[in-house]
Chain A
Amino acid sequence: MASVKLPESKIQELKEVCQKYDNKGSELINVLHGAQELFGYLPAEVQEIIADELNVSVAHVYGVVTFYSFFSMLPKGRNPISICMGTACYVRGAEKVLDEFKRILNVKVGETTGDGKFSLSCLRCVGACGLAPVVTIGERVYGRVSADDVKKILSEYA
């Protein structure tokens, strides 16, 4: 993976996140949440700083980051698309919706489009099963989405 140069000001902010949790190793997950909010993702460089600050090994930090699906080591697109793959959405045709997003954006699940505009991921149940199938883009929730709606939804972000 290409190395990432982190801006000095952000590094300072990251250290402040660690301090907010008293630089305790047991607060690692909360620190990672804070760090991901700050950078949008958790590149190796960020993990190294956190390991230093909390006085735990980088391997330990990496182990935790890769264990939880909420943490990502790849930058997300400006408009992160998530298709709900909970059971309720699945039986109401979420797979077809996902296929359509894949086809139009020409990316696989977990990837970001070349222009950095969209990233595509699946998630497990947002709990809006009454609106199945559900797609979220950023904070916005789209309900009762069919494959035919995909083009129109994407055009809102043109």
Chain B
Amino acid sequence: MGKYKSHILVCAGTGCRASDCEGIVSNLESALEENNLNEDVQVVRTGCFGFCEKGPVVKMVPDNTFYVEVTPDDAGELVLEHLVKGRKVERLLYIDPDTKERISDSKHMGFYKKQYRIALRNCGFIDPENIDEYIARDGYAAMGKILESMTPEEATAIIKESGLRGRGGGGFPTGLKWEFTRKAQADKKYVVCNADEGDPGAFMDRSILEGDPHSVLEAMAICGFCIGADTGLIYIRAEYPLAINRLKTAINQAREYGLIGKDILGTGFNFDVEIRLGAGAFVCGEETALIHSMEGLRGEPTVKPPFPAEKGYNGKPTNVNNVETFANIPPIILKGSKWFSEIGTEKSKGTKVFALAGKVNNVGLIEVPMGITLREVIFDIGGGIKGGKKFKAVQTGGPSGGCLTEKHLDIPIDYENLLQCGSMMGSGGMIVMDEDDCMVSVAKFYLDFTVEESCGKCAPCRIGNKRLYEMLDKISLGKSSEEDLGMLRNLANVIKDTSLCGLGQTSPNPVLSTMDNFHEEYLAHVADGKCPAGQCKALMHYIIDSHLCVGCTLCNRVCPVDAISGEKKTPHVIDSSICIKCGACLEKCKFGAISVQ
């Protein structure tokens, strides 16, 4: 970080940018100038700190004071108080929700205590647009070590022994994949980085690319050396403009430094990286579909085998790994396979990044050792459920995963355990739901997603999921019978067994897991015509309690369809044949006279 005595790190991830971190940076810079500190203190835009709930985050280095929910207006005070007078700005410190104490060092916050950062090691520490900062934290040292002292076989063996598995969802052993591609005979091979992060609610790949793009470039070069490829391609969603820009900057800098390109570090090894833009198709996260998309075709999957390791991009052997997988590679090379394999569980080594979101107090990006329990993640790191409500379910694995409940809270998280519970690791989305969420609606929400994203190539996925969605819709409208539940399960299993690719093979999981874990809720919909969570509009009735209603006419005035009638100062009534169940009256009533049944 150069000649400066101290630094102010400002989170410039997508979340904090939306909360005007640029305004904070420019106000900090002018405040520094006013106080003649601009020669001594530098403002650095970093990648995501992870604690998105409390963003924008500003961290003072070297004393590590961690300020939360900072606004541009606070910049002057931060400079004057913290830097000039040497006093902490108490009101911007994080307050521990249990002890009500103000905490200034992130190490002592519940959100960070149980985290172990490998893939996210540099996010929030370095300026992602400055290659020197990456190099200062051992960047490109792993690549140097391999190019100078190892054979491709030896390097691949380290990855194999580490036990690292694909972080994109499938969990296939990474070292083994590299070995397959290395052994394939061809005049040209490719390394592909899958940055088509499509799971709604997962944003770890984006954060890594925004906060530490060089770690991915370095790992791709290492992979290229191991499998014998000289070209790397990063397939990234066009919806991530900031990540794309930071990648472009990183590629240019690495080329300038001779860390990618021709004759890297004078070893004769050539490797260059190009960016390919996705165009919004969830199925392109599947590796064969991704490869077709890179070839300029519709992103439809094809049957495996042949695997991309034999026949991939342009018909050549191709190794596809996900962003987070790559981000783990350099530390494994530097610290050794033994170090990595001592973290985690027997079959799932290392750490996993999760995007914790939904009805949880601390929304954000976390990295935890495999084997941690859901309870620790949701209650210790996540700080429990928002608004003191009751925990109901946590959805893992995105549209391919399932909903887990109270009884799964103490199971150690790893690939196998999640599969056994009817969910999956997926890319690491973790959406917490509370008592107000209806599980039929949640299943319907995911099916709606699958129906839209199904590429249409195979019938089970194209037609089956559509029918599955319609059946769920019928249930939420109260037009189903118990018999339909059997049909629903049957169809879900057929789609799972007969679909062509991972999308269709996993798309019924949200339905099956909610049926298994919340059977009673489904029954309530079909047998009693009730939605216990009060979310399915068709099954709800708004009623005014004539004893509580004082006739203030407020509900009458907010009702968009004039379904409420009554004289001033006399109890009002709702005509349920007109009511569209928008809930506007319920929200406005000051006397608690309106309820849902």
Interface residues of A (CB under 8 A from B): 24-30, 32-33, 63-64, 67-71, 85-88, 90-92, 99, 103, 123-132, 134, 141-143
**Closest Cβ neighbor of B445 among chain A residues:** A90
Give every chain A residue within 8 A of B201 (Cβ-Cβ).
86-88, 125, 129
A17 to chain B, nearest CB (A): 14
Per the 8 Å Cβ criterion, residues 389-416 of B in contact with A are: 395, 398
Complex interface bits, B102-141 against A, C-beta within 8 A gives 1, otherwise 0: 0000000000000000000000000000000000000000
**B18 in complex: contacting residue of A87, A90, A124, A134, CB < 8 Å:** A134
Give every chain B residue within 8 A of A67 (Cβ-Cβ).
281, 298-300, 455
A30-B277 in contact (CB<8A): yes
Give every chain B residue within 8 A of A29 (Cβ-Cβ).
276-277, 279, 293, 296
Give every chain A residue within 8 A of B314 (Cβ-Cβ).
26
Give every chain A residue within 8 A of B19 (Cβ-Cβ).
131, 143
Per the 8 Å Cβ criterion, residues 41-87 of B in contact with A are: 52-53, 55
B364-A130 in contact (CB<8A): yes
Q: If A29-B277, A68-B280, A143-B18 touch, does A129 touch B238 (CB 8 Å cutoff)? A: no
**Closest Cβ neighbor of A142 among chain B residues:** B18
Give every chain B residue within 8 A of A88 (Cβ-Cβ).
200-201, 357-358, 363, 431
B240 in the interface, Cβ–Cβ < 8 Å? yes
**Closest Cβ neighbor of A91 among chain B residues:** B358
B15-A131 in contact (CB<8A): yes
Bound Cα distance from A130 to B357, whole angstroms: 7
Interface residues of B (CB under 8 A from A): 14-15, 17-19, 52-53, 55, 197-203, 206-207, 238-240, 276-282, 293, 295-300, 314, 355, 357-359, 363-364, 395, 398, 429, 431, 433, 437, 442, 445-446, 449, 455, 560, 582
**Closest Cβ neighbor of A134 among chain B residues:** B18
Bound Cα distance from A23 to B395, whole angstroms: 45
Bound Cα distance from A23 to B390, whole angstroms: 58
Bound Cα distance from A142 to B201, whole angstroms: 17
Bound Cα distance from A33 to B206, whole angstroms: 20
**Closest Cβ neighbor of A65 among chain B residues:** B279
**Closest Cβ neighbor of A27 among chain B residues:** B296
B280-A69 in contact (CB<8A): yes
**Closest Cβ neighbor of B584 among chain A residues:** A147
A64-B297 in contact (CB<8A): yes
Q: If A70-B239, A125-B202 touch, does A130 touch B55 (CB 8 Å cutoff)? A: yes
B282-A32 in contact (CB<8A): no
A153 to chain B, nearest CB (A): 13
Bound Cα distance from A103 to B445, whole angstroms: 21
Bound Cα distance from A67 to B296, whole angstroms: 12
A14 to chain B, nearest CB (A): 17
Bound Cα distance from A143 to B15, whole angstroms: 9
**Closest Cβ neighbor of B446 among chain A residues:** A87
A27 to chain B, nearest CB (A): 6
Bound Cα distance from A87 to B396, whole angstroms: 11
Q: Considering the complex of A and B, which 5 residue pairs feature the smallest CB-CB distances, nearest first?
A: A130-B52, A127-B203, A86-B200, A68-B279, A88-B357
**Closest Cβ neighbor of A129 among chain B residues:** B357
B238-A33 in contact (CB<8A): yes
Bound Cα distance from A128 to B53, whole angstroms: 10
B363-A130 in contact (CB<8A): yes
A66 to chain B, nearest CB (A): 9
A87-B358 in contact (CB<8A): yes
Bound Cα distance from A103 to B449, whole angstroms: 23
**Closest Cβ neighbor of B238 among chain A residues:** A70
Q: If A64-B298, A129-B201, A129-B355 touch, does A123 touch B239 (CB 8 Å cutoff)? A: yes
Give every chain A residue within 8 A of B429 (Cβ-Cβ).
87
Bound Cα distance from A131 to B280, whole angstroms: 22
Bound Cα distance from A5 to B355, whole angstroms: 47
B298-A63 in contact (CB<8A): yes
Give every chain A residue within 8 A of B276 (Cβ-Cβ).
29-30
B200-A87 in contact (CB<8A): yes
B298-A132 in contact (CB<8A): no
Give every chain B residue within 8 A of A125 (Cβ-Cβ).
199-203
Given contacts A130-B357, A131-B18, 10 further A-B contacts (CB under 8 A): A26-B295, A29-B276, A29-B279, A92-B358, A99-B582, A125-B200, A128-B18, A131-B15, A132-B358, A143-B19
Most chain A CB within a 10 A radius of its CB, from B15, B52, B200: B200
Bound Cα distance from A156 to B437, whole angstroms: 33
Give every chain B residue within 8 A of A134 (Cβ-Cβ).
18
Give every chain B residue within 8 A of A32 (Cβ-Cβ).
279
B363-A132 in contact (CB<8A): yes
Bound Cα distance from A54 to B139, whole angstroms: 41
Bound Cα distance from A125 to B357, whole angstroms: 12
Give every chain B residue within 8 A of A87 (Cβ-Cβ).
200-201, 357-358, 395, 398, 429, 431, 445-446
Give every chain A residue within 8 A of B278 (Cβ-Cβ).
68, 70
B359-A92 in contact (CB<8A): yes
Bound Cα distance from A106 to B458, whole angstroms: 37
Give every chain B residue within 8 A of A27 (Cβ-Cβ).
296
**Closest Cβ neighbor of A103 among chain B residues:** B560
B344 to chain A, nearest CB (A): 25
27 contacts between A and B (CB under 8 A): A24-B296, A25-B296, A26-B314, A28-B296, A64-B298, A68-B278, A68-B281, A68-B299, A69-B279, A69-B281, A70-B239, A70-B280, A87-B200, A90-B445, A91-B358, A91-B431, A91-B442, A99-B582, A124-B200, A124-B282, A125-B199, A126-B239, A127-B202, A128-B15, A129-B357, A141-B14, A142-B18
B511 to chain A, nearest CB (A): 15
B358-A126 in contact (CB<8A): no
A150 to chain B, nearest CB (A): 13
Give every chain B residue within 8 A of A103 (Cβ-Cβ).
560
A83 to chain B, nearest CB (A): 12
Give every chain B residue within 8 A of A129 (Cβ-Cβ).
15, 52, 201, 203, 355, 357, 363
Give every chain B residue within 8 A of A99 (Cβ-Cβ).
582
Bound Cα distance from A30 to B433, whole angstroms: 39
Bound Cα distance from A70 to B241, whole angstroms: 13
Bound Cα distance from A47 to B299, whole angstroms: 18
Give every chain B residue within 8 A of A131 (Cβ-Cβ).
15, 18-19, 52
Bound Cα distance from A86 to B395, whole angstroms: 13
B5 to chain A, nearest CB (A): 32
B325 to chain A, nearest CB (A): 19
Most chain B CB within a 10 A radius of its CB, from A25, A92, A129, A132: A129
Bound Cα distance from A25 to B294, whole angstroms: 11
Bound Cα distance from A142 to B298, whole angstroms: 33
A141-B298 in contact (CB<8A): no
B395-A126 in contact (CB<8A): no
B279-A127 in contact (CB<8A): no
Give every chain A residue within 8 A of B281 (Cβ-Cβ).
67-69
Give every chain A residue within 8 A of B298 (Cβ-Cβ).
63-64, 67
Give every chain A residue within 8 A of B299 (Cβ-Cβ).
67-68
Bound Cα distance from A123 to B238, whole angstroms: 12
